[in-house]
Chain A
């Protein structure tokens, strides 16, 4: 057992221990220490994960697998954590005396997600999923005003139900195959896949992942939680959690394979997710709710790649997950800054009026982020959608692809509505928005990477394909 492969997680564990000690110190010192500590942690995690990128191995009695899928997704997760950590200096609705806890739960949930990407045993998978979920339940309840308990409780109830169904489904899989290891299930899958109980178990197990991905029919929590959680927390849920869900989808599907019936079910869910997310987003006024419905629609697009069940399908889902982290964080960065400047952690569309005059740079970032979400070239979201839909089309899902591209047009309507407010309406105050250095750097890097990943995607596409090949059971 080569523990050097586990270094990123060990660093994270150490940091969590340090943060626990920090709760003992004075709140004020701790709060300001956090602003430096969390981004620093994010950077160290990225670097350490980067160094494990080429390596592979199996740890802890074959329950924990290090390969390019896991390390690639861990890098994406660490990046997402870093961005949220940088943006956390704009937290306005986290209670002052709970700031260290905010740091702790953010880190534990990241630890859970990182472990999810490596889990190749049902036990490790369940433990890491619950670790990340419970941390997120607590995080979404960390808010100063009255909204807090609602979000936390809703999230918890839906999450607990989904995880119960997950366990039930997994018990069927384990019962049929007689092993808890995914590799063991993978070895027997070709013989079992024809059995209805196997498909049923798999479908139930998917509940938990669909919940994390906020896809239909487990999307109900998303709008309320997005709206009620503090905005940096929403941003973390909307990006990192989605990427981890994609990783686990890929892992499970690669182990079990997809039966025709399951592809049908997933296709219907993708169809409904896209339709419902985009239709409801059209009438939203609260920008966080709008992004929540948009993320339901995006979950539908992602399912299209996942249900293709091919190398191209999985690798393009990986690509899109990364692009999604970038573009969604870009959108949330602007939401967070606008929320801070308007002293209102639930910015409405009207709060974005005249943003282009108050900060042309932020307006441009929001424009590119939203256009990328809508799949407009030459941005990352466009290239991601192109390869995602190519993969689905290749498997003959022409109707879903046609529906998805039509949906992208619908989504453009509400994205452009927001853009219109940014560029066209007069601002209520002419006061320019000033950005802190960290946010400015993050915003600039997001802007550049959205364009670069869109225009020069070849290297990353090749990487994702190698990663999927390396993850075969």
Chain B
């Protein structure tokens, strides 16, 4: 009860920090977007530099945020609060806790690298960077807001530019993939929408504020069960939960490189984040009620994603299905409903976000140079392009859970928690890691070793500029792999609070 009481004090007297750093992070891409829109089309370099500057701004601010953030303080902190639509209980309010502070950092890292990787875009440069910045504004918004209205608003802002990014700059069956992705995600969001409005209509609610809903509304067990189911399906679509994952491999493959990075790296995490932030936070009973089912679905994700990945010939499809498999680990962590599982899930969200961004950054570069992503048509790339090959192999090793990489710790935590709660599922998920190792190593062996394909003789390795973003991602992976306690320290108090044991 102590934690709850402190909550309410903070809600009544919102501490407005001296500098609204969260809004500043959100405003960086928004201002960048406006500047890009105002720049005439022909100044392409200026547009790219503007986008880069705003991405760098978010990165710097989100690192500053990590130092301001106090992991030892329970509940939300750095709350920013402003009335928006008074009569409907809609406030513009942002806050951080252990759940989102790392997600904000992840988004900043991925967008920064994504902009750098997109330097080679030449077609409709202005529209491309405008869409990227718009998308990332939505992502930041979802991670930091504490109001369901803004949660939904930012969520949809993150989805729609994706459609344009895929349809205009994409490849491989892009019209089909873009429409499929958009309709699936919006179908999920329709369920969220209905769920949010239902919460609003409950007795004593009349607000969309998460904290106020938590304090004022008594969700009966029946309501919790129904609402959690609806919200889980809604968020689960975005988190690529089996059987709603079908949009994701197609979407990842069709999207242009930077959009794939953002999409697999960050956007899918919005779904898992939503399950924790809204689902588990407001409806803990409902979450417990459905936990067994979530665990089963998560296992399907892990095993099914890995099995399908073994059969793929296209590098990008392999990465796409590996994402489905890895998101299963996140969901399994959530299903355990334990602190260790939650910590592992959030860590996996972070590590997988960076890892998969690195994957797509590498595949995109190979595709630009070789004009193919088919394993059979590649081969021996490590001789002529050792650097990009090394980056891909690092990402692959991280994907199969090599110790010393971020994913290892995350998967370890989730597996420990899973064996405690669901022994059978936990053991099967360990076996599934072997499948992951199999397809990752097969792909590496086929694409980068073996006889070289003479068609790609003129394929050039990374230049120093293209080296930077990929090296940065690798550095993050290794840093958090070696010092996982830094990360666990950020999240552990919040996950305890979330489970009501803080």
Q: Is the interface of B mostly helix, strand, loop or mixed?
A: helix
Q: In angstroms, how far is the closest chain A Cβ from the Cβ of B130?
A: 10
Q: B183 contacts A409, CB within 8 Å? A: yes
Known: A409-B187, A416-B182, A423-B168. A457 touches B85 (CB 8 A): yes
- How long is the Cα–Cα vector from A408 to B86 in the complex, in angstroms? 26
Question: A424's contact among B168, B187, B190, by CB below 8 Å, is which?
Answer: B168
| Most chain B Cβ neighbours within 10 Å, of A382, A383, A389, A393 | A393
- How long is the Cα–Cα vector from A156 to B163 in the complex, in angstroms? 42
Q: B153 contacts A378, CB within 8 Å? A: yes
Which residues A413-465 have CB closer than 8 A to chain B? 413, 416, 420, 423-424, 457-458, 461-462, 465
Known: A390-B88, A457-B85, A465-B87. A377 touches B152 (CB 8 A): yes
Contacts of B191 in A (CB 8 A): 405
Q: A393 contacts B200, CB within 8 Å? A: yes
| A398 interface hit (Cβ, 8 Å) | yes
B71-104 toward A: CB 8 Å interface, digit per residue (1/0)? 0000000000001111110000000000000000
Q: B87 contacts A394, CB within 8 Å? A: no
Contacts of B154 in A (CB 8 A): 377
Q: B187 contacts A406, CB within 8 Å? A: yes
User: Closest chain B residue to A357 by CB distance?
Assistant: B124
- How long is the Cα–Cα vector from A412 to B186 in the complex, in angstroms? 9
A-B interface contact total, Cβ < 8 Å: 81
Q: A458 contacts B86, CB within 8 Å? A: yes
| B349 interface hit (Cβ, 8 Å) | no
Q: In angstroms, how far is the closest chain A Cβ from the Cβ of B234?
A: 10
Question: B201's contact among A377, A387, A393, A408, by CB below 8 Å, is which?
Answer: A393
Contacts of A413 in B (CB 8 A): 179, 183
Contacts of A387 in B (CB 8 A): 85, 88
| A402 interface hit (Cβ, 8 Å) | yes
B132-163 toward A: CB 8 Å interface, digit per residue (1/0)? 00000000000000000100111011001001
Known: A423-B164, A461-B85. A377 touches B194 (CB 8 A): no
- How long is the Cα–Cα vector from A465 to B190 in the complex, in angstroms? 27
Known: A393-B198, A409-B186. A462 touches B88 (CB 8 A): no
B233-277 toward A: CB 8 Å interface, digit per residue (1/0)? 000000000000000000000000000000000000000000000
- How long is the Cα–Cα vector from A469 to B187 in the complex, in angstroms? 36
Q: In angstroms, how far is the closest chain A Cβ from the Cβ of B48?
A: 19
| B292 interface hit (Cβ, 8 Å) | no
User: Closest chain A residue to B149 by CB distance?
Assistant: A386
Q: Is the interface of A mostly helix, strand, loop or mixed?
A: helix
Contacts of A383 in B (CB 8 A): 85
Q: A401 contacts B197, CB within 8 Å? A: yes
B164-178 toward A: CB 8 Å interface, digit per residue (1/0)? 100110000001000
| B193 interface hit (Cβ, 8 Å) | yes
| A95 interface hit (Cβ, 8 Å) | no
Contacts of A255 in B (CB 8 A): none
Known: A405-B190, A406-B190. A462 touches B86 (CB 8 A): yes
Q: B153 contacts A401, CB within 8 Å? A: no
- How long is the Cα–Cα vector from A371 to B186 in the complex, in angstroms? 12
- How long is the Cα–Cα vector from A401 to B154 in the complex, in angstroms? 21
Q: In angstroms, how far is the closest chain B Cβ from the Cβ of A25?
A: 46
| A376 interface hit (Cβ, 8 Å) | yes
- How long is the Cα–Cα vector from A337 to B298 in the complex, in angstroms? 52
- How long is the Cα–Cα vector from A122 to B399 in the complex, in angstroms? 73
Q: A394 contacts B201, CB within 8 Å? A: yes
Q: In angstroms, how far is the closest chain B Cβ from the Cβ of A408?
A: 7
Which residues B189-210 have CB closer than 8 A to chain A? 190-191, 193-194, 197-198, 200-201
Contacts of A406 in B (CB 8 A): 187, 190
Q: B190 contacts A409, CB within 8 Å? A: yes
- How long is the Cα–Cα vector from A398 to B149 in the complex, in angstroms? 18
Q: A377 contacts B186, CB within 8 Å? A: no
Q: In angstroms, how far is the closest chain A Cβ from the Cβ of B136?
A: 15
| A57 interface hit (Cβ, 8 Å) | no
- How long is the Cα–Cα vector from A371 to B157 in the complex, in angstroms? 11
Contacts of A420 in B (CB 8 A): 167, 175, 179
| A396 interface hit (Cβ, 8 Å) | yes
Q: In angstroms, how far is the closest chain A Cβ from the Cβ of B244?
A: 14
Known: A382-B153, A382-B156, A409-B186. A461 touches B197 (CB 8 A): no
Q: Can you give 19 A-B contacts (C-beta < 8 A)?
A: A312-B88, A376-B160, A377-B154, A378-B153, A382-B153, A382-B156, A386-B152, A389-B193, A390-B197, A393-B198, A394-B200, A402-B190, A405-B190, A406-B187, A409-B187, A413-B183, A416-B182, A461-B88, A462-B86
Supplied contacts A393-B198, A405-B193, 18 more A-B pairs, CB within 8 Å: A376-B160, A377-B152, A377-B153, A378-B153, A382-B153, A386-B88, A389-B197, A393-B194, A401-B197, A405-B191, A408-B186, A408-B190, A412-B186, A416-B163, A420-B175, A420-B179, A461-B88, A462-B87
The 8 closest A-B pairs by CB, nearest first: A405-B190, A377-B153, A393-B197, A393-B201, A402-B194, A409-B186, A394-B201, A405-B193
